[in-house]
Structure 1
Amino acid sequence: MARAPGLSGRDLVLVGLICLAWAGNFLTSALALREIPPFLFTALRFALLGVVLLPFLRRPAAGQWPRLLAVCLSVGVVHFGLSFTALKLAGDLSSPAIAMQSYVPMTAILGWFVLGEHFGWRTGLAIAVSFGGVLVMGFDPLVLDHPGSLVTMLVSAAFLALGTVLMKPLRGLDVFSQQGWMALVSVLPLLAVSAVVEPGAMLRLGEVSWVGWMGAAYAAFVSSLLGHGLFYVLVQRHPVAQVTPWLLVAPVLAVGLGVWFWGDRPGPRLLVGGAMVLGGVLMIALRALAKTRTAAPRDPVEI
């Protein structure tokens, strides 16, 4: 089948569904976190996801187990655990949704040092703009009221960037196998962390309302299974760099959900800083897309 030069109308519908799924996850998770502590919530999410994906697991190639385990711990335990902690600490949805995107420039920097993926001055400028936007956001009153949330989300983003870099050399695992192994490997460490930092939380699960369980189910089945599943469909048809810029709609939608349903009142610093973060991420994505087009042959590629 010939690879299309750009995303078609049908593909843009899939992008829209992905962005809606990921944006909605901020709202449903924030509601659930009122009842379930962050690390236990993450464990429940992965327990539900792991059960569903168990039949689809593929064994990783010989020698890849250490790297796969490192990815699972970096992303599944630390990144997700801290990202939900940041969401609980925040008084809004907007700043966590935007700050999360800082993993993109962090990934580019780690890729330089770990994988030797050097970038030019334009990408370097985009990285500087993104980090400058985080600083501007940090002085918004909405963020200053909960500074620990921003710091926690940046640490979470750093571990997502680390996991992304470690994941690149993995071979022979499709998106469902990657998600399935991450879910199964992460559950016990997350429960152990929860037992230490959230004592008694597991004993109170019987008191959780349908809202809390709905949030865990949404995170597992809509955000992870549907969102990442559709993303996998798209990257089978198009280069990843061609899809990535469109996914920046997700944090914009999350900000909208925060304003409409959560009562966020982002000030000018958060809006300007957020625009800088997302603008820098978009510049990085477009530079990656330009490199892909330069390296790609002019004739359609058969896949």
Structure 2
Amino acid sequence: MFMWAGNAIAGQVAVGEISPMLLTALRWVGVGVLIFIFARRRIVNEWPALRTRLPLLLALGALGFSTFNALFYIAAHSTVAINIGIINGALPVFVMLGTYIFYRTQVTGAQLIGVVVTLIGIAVVAARGDIALISDVRFNPGDVLMTFACLLYAAYTVALRERPAASGLAIFSIMTVGALATSIPLAIIEILMGDMIWPSPTGWAVALYVAIFPSLLSQLFFLRSVELIGPNRAGLFINLVPIITAAFGVILLNEDFHGYHVAALFLVLSGIWLAERKYIPLK
């Protein structure tokens, strides 16, 4: 969770040091190289199972990895790390909504209340805590992009239920190919539009960090945690991301921490807590 929270900080540090699409492409190029070195035998051994869901895995990598991260880094240009972290905290609720819509997973009364409370928390961030603006919320462009990115990643998470019977490392490796295949054209478009920023030393450091930590190690650690304690318990730890991100934003980036951030954090985390309760079933 610390690595994922650090991704929001990396997105802020990257502004002006490396362009968003180039950062996304370099991120997945780096992961691809590491995967080729350490996982190619696993892919060969599990290829029969992987082949049965190859289009799905490539699509999940393209949408859940490269497109999500591209939107994530673009959002970082017009919002702050604290807001990114708080909006990211709504992910578990979006996943719950997706499983209900597509798989008719039971939704309890507490979960429904949790969804409403979480969305109110996002609105508080968007309105910058100004109650007068709540009824006429005008989202910061970065907040809108981040919310859309979270919805996209939630769809990716829900679709993982259709993954093949293969190891997490092998599945992640194939999805990395999809992410890489998508991120390179995005970088080319950025170059053709004249928006590319060649990495400074800081930009290269950010690219190296996001390739090794948020992209590779955090994903592998999370997959391992799912194997050890199950997806439900492991998923609870995602809720730590907005808290850690807010702390990183204040400590590392000297961002201002306002009262509305406290209120939004409380609302989002309270909503998530309610959404994960198993009682008060709807009748």
**Aligned residue pairs: how many?**
267
Asked if 1:127 corresponds to 2:115, the answer is yes
119-128 vs 61-70, which moves further: 61-70
Contact 1:32 1:213 in 2 (8 A): no
Which residue does 1:234 correspond to in 2? 225
- Aligned pair partner of 2:33 in 51, 54, 57: 51
1:163 Cα deviation after fit = 0.9
SS in 2 for 1:89: coil
- The counterpart of 2:257, out of the listed 266, 274, 291, is 266
Could you tell me whether the CA contact under 8 Å between 2:57 and 2:178 is conserved in 1? no
Does residue 39 of structure 1 match 2:21? yes
Aligned to 1:112: 100
Aligned to 1:148: 141
Deviations 1:61-89 (A, max 9, x none): 44312321221222123211111111222
Q: Judge conservation of contact 2:59–2:178 (CA < 8 Å) in 1.
A: no
Residue type matched to 1:276 in 2?
L
Q: Counterpart of 2:31 in structure 1: which amino acid?
A: L
Distance across 1 between alignment mates of 2:258 and 2:65: 32
1:112-261 maps to which residues of 2 (within 5 A)? 112-140=100-128, 147-198=140-191, 199-200=193-194, 205=198, 208-261=199-252
Find the aligned partners of 2:149 and 2:187 in 1 and give their Cα distance. 17
* Distance of aligned partners of 1:110 and 1:251 in 2 relative to their CA distance in 1, 3 Å threshold: same
> What residue in structure 1 maps to residue 85 of structure 2?
97
Matched-pair contact (CA < 8 Å) for 1:176–1:229: yes
Task: Give the Cα separation in 1 of the matches to 2:254 and 2:278.
Answer: 36
Gaps of 5+ in 2: 131-136
Q: Is the CA contact (8 Å cut-off) linking 1:107 and 1:165 kept in structure 2?
A: yes
TM norm structure 1:
0.79
Q: 1:86 aligns with which of 72, 75, 78?
A: 75
Q: Report the alpha carbon displacement of residue 145 of structure 1 after superposing the two structures with TM.
A: 9.9
Q: Is the 8 A contact 1:32 1:214 kept in 2?
A: no
CA RMSD of aligned residues (A): 2.6
**Separation in 2 of the partners of 1:227 and 1:287?**
28
Task: Give the distance between the partners of 1:146 and 1:124, measured in 2 at CA.
Answer: 24
Residue 170 of structure 1: how far off its partner (Å):
0.6
Q: Which residue of 2 aligns with 1:25?
A: 7
* CA distance in structure 2 between the aligned counterparts of 1:264 and 1:200, rounded to whole angstroms: 30
* Deviation sequence 1:105-146 (CA, Å, 0-9, x none): 12111211212212111111111111111111111179x998
Contact kept in structure 1, 2:126 and 2:138, CA below 8 Å: no
Of stretches 92-101 and 23-32 in structure 1, the one that deviates more from structure 2 is 23-32
Q: Which TM-score applies when normalising by structure 2? A: 0.85
Q: Does the CA contact (< 8 Å) of 2:85 and 2:245 recur in 1?
A: yes
1:35-92 residue CA offsets vs partner (Å, 9 max, x unmatched): 21112211110110011112413434443123212212221232111111112221x2
Distance 1:230 1:110 in 2: 24
| CA positional deviation for 1:263 | 1.9
Distance change >3 Å, CA 258–CA 145, structure 1 → 2: farther
Matched to 1:101, the amino acid is G
Question: Residues 87, 174 of structure 1: CA spacing in aligned structure 2 closer, same or farther, 3 A cutoff?
Answer: farther
Residue number in structure 2 paired with 1:14? none
Q: 1:69 to 1:188 in 2, by over 3 A?
A: closer
Q: Return the offset for 1:177.
A: 2.4
Match of 2:134 in 1: none
**Residues 1:64 and 2:53 are matched in the alignment:** yes
Amino acid corresponding to residue 123 of structure 1 in structure 2? Q
2:118 and 2:268 in contact (8 A); partners too: yes
Q: Distance in 1 between matches of 2:109 and 2:57?
A: 32
Distance 1:230 1:189, change over 3 A: closer
User: Which 5+ residue runs of structure 1 have no aligned equivalent?
Assistant: 1-18, 292-303
